[in-house]
Amino acid sequence: MTNKIYVFKLFERFWHWSQAGLIITMLITGFEVHGSYTLMGFADAVEVHTVAAWALVGLWCFAIFWHFTTGEWKQYIPTLQKVDAMIKYYAVGIFTHAPHPFKTTQLKKHNPLQRLAYLWVLLMIGPGIWITGWAYLFYDQWTAWGWDTLLTLEWVAFFHVAFAFMMLVFLIAHVYLTTAGHTPTAHIKAMITGWEETD
């Protein structure tokens, strides 16, 4: 027997899908700027990439404000409790139809591995992308700011692309793990409707 609980509020769903769209846009245009392929041309790719980046900055600022004013930031506090059970479940349990070791509730939306992964994105990948991206964006100001003696464009580009690949790996893993619900589309449906089905 399954029950439904309302887990993801309207803003969370808007934030999730908007963020996903902007990040995918930035990955596609960013790899074109890097020279991996040609879809829209270098100049257009740079412009779309920059607009998407500033839109994502605005979205993140609003999301941070929302999380702190609603108390939802507590959902991301990491815990090592049941991490081993989650690793075992994702490595073996999914394929043997083992019961999920974590029960989603309104107060605990993310399992321990999700919390650690989101913390990694929030504390490492995100800041790495933003710092190198802004350094890239304001390259023409380096001399005035005295940064030209500290940084080289090649190293900034290298680390920006490295962090972009980390984001891509996270995105692929995130999409794959959305299929780990009691049906392959259950988690995706929950992020569309807000309602999570639980046993």
pLDDT in tens, the chain (199 residues): 568 889 999 999 999 999 999 999 999 999 999 889 999 999 999 999 999 999 999 999 999 999 999 999 999 999 888 899 999 998 898 888 888 888 888 888 999 999 999 999 989 999 999 999 999 899 999 888 888 888 899 999 999 999 999 999 999 999 998 888 778 888 899 999 999 887 6
So what's the pLDDT on residue 191?
94
So what's the pLDDT on residue 199?
64
So what's the pLDDT on residue 157?
92
Q: Given the DSSP bridges, would you call strands 195-198 and 3-6 parallel, antiparallel or unpaired?
A: antiparallel
- The structure tokens listed for 80 are 């090592």
- What CATH code is carried by the domain that includes residue 46? 1.20.950.20
Could you write out the three-class secondary structure of 118-159? HHHHHHHHHHHHHHHHHHHHCHHHHHHHCHHHCCCHHHHHHH
| Domains identified in the chain, total number | 1
So what's the pLDDT on residue 1?
57
Domain coverage including residue 68:
3-198
In 10 A of CB 26, how many CB atoms?
23
Q: Helices marked H in the chain — which ranges?
A: 10-33, 42-70, 83-91, 112-120, 126-137, 142-145, 153-177, 186-193
Residue 182, helix vs strand vs coil: coil
Sign of CA dihedral 36, 40, 43, 47: negative
